[in-house]
Structure 1
Amino acid sequence: MTTVPLTTGNGRVKEARKLSRRSARSERRLFLADGPKAVESAIVVPGCVVEVFATPAATERHAALSAAATAAEAAWTLVDERALASLSDAVNPAGVVAVCRFLDRPLEHLLDPAPRLVALCADVRDPGNAGTVIRTADAAGAGAVVLAGSSVDAYNPKTVRASVGSLFQVPVAVAADPADAVRRAQSAGLQVLAADGAGEVDLFEADDLLAAPTAWLFGNEAWGLPEELAALADHRVRIPILGRAESLNLSTAAALCLYASARAHRV
């Protein structure tokens, strides 16, 4: 551990700060995990954490985390408040930021063998939604999350923060073509259920259907699933709207669908 806190002008701090850009993350396959919960989750993954930057005050507060980083052979580096703030996009930084290696795995690896429950996101653009879907999938016991098409970067700081550590706990794949991801899931023995407000199947009446191994297909926040992609699904499932709301947002819909499957799998 360095004993003199580094400043914003330090070369290592500058290099880490570049990871706020997607292009730099993709080139170096590194990203920033902000906050003690994220860092704690990252340290558990062997070889994930490269270096932790922390203020002296945060180091005192999180002595156990510092010890865990050292045990995991990750450098724990003291930085001053300004340097730490330059690495965080939080309004009130928690004082701890880790440089981590990418975690995503090839889709074919995640589907061999196929898990019983998968969340497949097509063109999901909002980082908060993506992170919440990852967190919900983890909570529901899903075996994988797939971010397909022009979906937001899994390592966007807001996505990482919204996942509340689940990015480090549930396997994630990145797929260029949503249609190909759907076909691969089906080839692996999963039924694909498209979450569609106009679907022919009512979620409340689909227990028998939900009991089978399933990949849920979720579309973009604004326009949903393109017709040609939804047509590839085995079934389209609607969440009944019982009140006067026009619709549900993506992360809420995903939570209802994933937990419906999780419940059916336990019966």
Structure 2
Amino acid sequence: MLTNPRSDRVKAVRALSRRSVRSRSGEFVAEGPQSVREALRHRPDAVRDVYVTPEAADRHPAIVDAARAAGVTVHDTAPEVLAAMVDTESPQGLVAVCRAVDRPLDEVLDGLPERALVLVLTHVRDPGNAGTVIRGADAAGADAVVVSDASVELYNPKVVRSTAGSLWHLPVSVGAPVTEILDGLRARGVALLAADGAGTTLLPEVDLDRSHAWVMGNEAWGLPEPLRAQCEEVVRVPIHGHAESLNLAMAATVCLYASAGARHPDGRGDTPVGTEAGSDVGVGGRG
């Protein structure tokens, strides 16, 4: 069992909380049972090491078994040692060191299906917002997420936590300039829809029965005008009550689910949500 919170191994894991170290090593930390479980389920090749406390091992034996079955080294870790590895106040007893899973932009765009749904994030600064929107894209059945070089880094620990495992479920590209992203989508026949509070087209009026990408901008000031001008339509979510506006995560989820409704008019998903103890299924569920 790892018992020394000042060991070089612990310091190396903790160092992955810094972007410079993540960029240099090509590795990042996934924390908590949901994220680690989904990493092992969908991308076991990306998981290098798993650290688990005795209590977490007792609560989540299937995760430990899955890691060992995938050939991942599992380290029994004292709670105070695991706490020293991460920056959260109340660690959940499971940490995985993972290799980056993003793909080159052209690879992601060339892999899109004929009737694609894509989420583009640019100038998004808040890690929690970015992760929550990626989770919403996954839930709505998006085919890809593309994060521009002007947005928060994908492997920021708060982004990874906020995706609740969705980071492992769909193709993601990061780091390209937003103009290159939009040009690439347009060249592949994907309609560009800017979601912005200044939009003149209401969401129910938009044709979503085609390949399209939702382009989401900054939490405070939305998309810059030059980017709005590159989009086919600038779309606004109608407000029927007295709220001034929706925040980024809410607006993105509404738009993505409008797209999901066009793709799945019966309103049903394909398979039931898993019910393993500790799963974070939230308030939604597949029918």
- Scaled by the length of structure 1, what TM-score is found? 0.95
Cα shift at 1:124: 0.6
Is residue 119 from structure 1 mapped to residue 116 from structure 2 by the alignment?
no
Q: Please tell me the residue identity of whatever aligns with 1:36.
A: P
SS at match of 1:173: strand
Shift, 1:93, TM fit: 0.9
**Aligned partners of 1:159 and 1:86: how far apart in 2?**
20
Answering whether residue 142 of structure 2 is matched by residue 152 of structure 1, we say no
Partner of 1:53: 51
Match of residue 94 from structure 1:
92
* In structure 1, distance between residues paired with 2:183 and 2:63: 42
Task: Quote the offset at 1:11 in angstroms.
Answer: 1.7
Q: Does the alignment pair 1:35 with 2:29?
A: no
- Tell me the amino acid that sits aligned with residue 260 of structure 1: A
Letter in 1 for 2:134: I
Structure 1 stretches lacking a partner, 5+ long: none
Q: Which amino acid is the alignment partner of residue 18 of structure 2? A: R
State the partner residue of 1:176. Answer: 176
Q: Is the 8 A contact 1:135 1:164 kept in 2?
A: yes
1:6–1:78 contact (8 Å) kept in structure 2 = no
What fraction of aligned residue pairs are identical, expressed as a percent? 49
Deviations 1:172-198 (A, max 9, x none): 111331111111111111000000212
Q: Tell me the residue number matched to 1:162.
A: 162
SS in 2 for 1:231: helix
Q: What amino acid is the match of 1:5?
A: L
**Matches of 1:79 and 1:114, distance apart in 2:** 41
Counterpart AA for 1:73:
G
Question: What's the secondary structure of 1:47's corresponding residue?
Answer: helix
What does residue 251 of structure 1 align with? 249
1:14 to 4, 11, 14: 11
Provide structure 2 residue ranges, at least 5 long, that are not aligned to the other structure.
266-287
Deviations 1:234-265 (A, max 9, x none): 11111111222221100000001111111112
Name the structure 2 match of 1:265.
263
Counterpart contact for 1:118–1:214, Cα < 8 Å: yes
Q: Distance in 1 between matches of 2:264 and 2:55?
A: 45
1:224-239 map, 5 Å: 224-239=222-237
CA displacement, residues 153-172 of structure 1 (integer Å, 9 cap, x when unaligned): 11111111110000011111
Please point out which of 47, 65, 68 is paired with 1:67.
65
Identify the match of residue 21 of structure 2 among 21, 24, 28: 24
What is the letter of the counterpart of residue 112 of structure 1?
D
Q: Name the aligned partner's letter for residue 177 of structure 1.
A: P
139-148 vs 195-204, greater mean Cα deviation:
195-204
Structure 1 CA distance for aligned equivalents of residues 179 and 254 of structure 2: 23
Instruction: Tell me the SS of whatever aligns to 1:145.
Output: strand
CA drift at 1:91: 2.4
2:284 aligns to what?
none
Deviates more, 1:110-119 or 1:232-241: 110-119
Name the Cα RMSD after superposition.
Answer: 1.2
TM-aligned CA deviation for residue 8 of structure 1: 1.2
2:201 corresponds to 1:201: yes
Shift of residue 61 of structure 1? 2.1
CA contact (8 A) 1:117 1:142 kept: yes
Aligned-partner SS, 2:135: helix
Give CA-to-partner distance per residue, 1:32-86, whole Å, 9 cap, x none.
0000111101112131110011112222222221111011111000121221011
Measure the CA separation in 1 of the matches of 2:259 and 2:201: 14
